[in-house]
Amino acid sequence: MRLTTRGRYAVTAMLDLALHGDNGPVALADISARQDISLSYLEQLFAKLRKNALVRSVRGPGGGYCLQADSKDINIAVIIDAVNETTDATNCAGKGDCQGGQVCLTHHLWDDLSEQIHNFLSGISLATLTQQQRVKQVCQRQDESQLNVNIKPEGFQLIETLVAP
């Protein structure tokens, strides 16, 4: 179980999908705009998510991605694992070959911690999150600011792009 920004991005994108997927497929371009994640990076992540049967794609105009299962049946741990396929089992975290084929002093501790994290995250589904008030609030804010961007003339959008981090 590796925790990186990549996993965070994947979870964020999947949550966006769960929140906006009621009316057919969601385009990656929309997720990219709402969540400030580069489009091509999203494409890479969703290729992995699709291979792991977490989403399915609809091609052509009006297409995009849908959740493969019900949002209450997709938990956070599964999403992170899907996106970290290259799990090298960081030194200690994987097999017990941390110290020349043997187990290192703190191997069991990190093993316990990994289990702890995994249990926590696999107990949380996308549905759990979409039902939370605090998530709904952020979602609403993002939708509104997205609306503003669409309304703004092109000149303003340019400035915004330059100013943004």
Partner DNA sequence: TAATACCCGACTATTTAACTTGGTTTAATA
Partner DNA sequence: TATTAAACCAAGTTAAATAGTCGGGTATTA
Q: Which residues are near a second copy by CB under 8 A?
A: 3, 5, 8, 11-12, 15-16, 35-36, 76, 90-92, 99-100, 102-110, 113, 116-117, 120-121, 124, 129, 132, 134-135, 138-139, 141-142, 164-165
Contact predicate 113/25, CB 8 Å: no
User: If phi over 0 gives left and psi between -120 and 50 gives alpha, with beta otherwise, what is residue 160?
Assistant: alpha
Contact predicate 57/31, CB 8 Å: no
Which listed option, a second copy, DNA, none, makes contact with residue 141 (CB within 5 to 8 Å by class)? a second copy
Which listed option, a second copy, DNA, none, makes contact with residue 139 (CB within 5 to 8 Å by class)? a second copy
Instruction: Name the amino acid, one letter, at 152.
Output: K
The minimum distance between CB 44 and DNA, in angstroms, equals 6
Which listed option, a second copy, DNA, none, makes contact with residue 86 (CB within 5 to 8 Å by class)? DNA
The minimum distance between CB 24 and a second copy, in angstroms, equals 21
Which listed option, a second copy, DNA, none, makes contact with residue 79 (CB within 5 to 8 Å by class)? none
The minimum distance between CB 22 and DNA, in angstroms, equals 16
Between 70 and 143, whose beta carbon lies closer to a second copy? 143
The two structure tokens encoding residue 15: 């949550």
Contact predicate 55/17, CB 8 Å: yes
Give residues with Cβ within 8 angstroms of 149, minimum separation 6. Answer: 33, 157, 160
The minimum distance between CB 60 and a second copy, in angstroms, equals 28
Helix axes 5-20, 39-51, angle to 10 degrees: 80
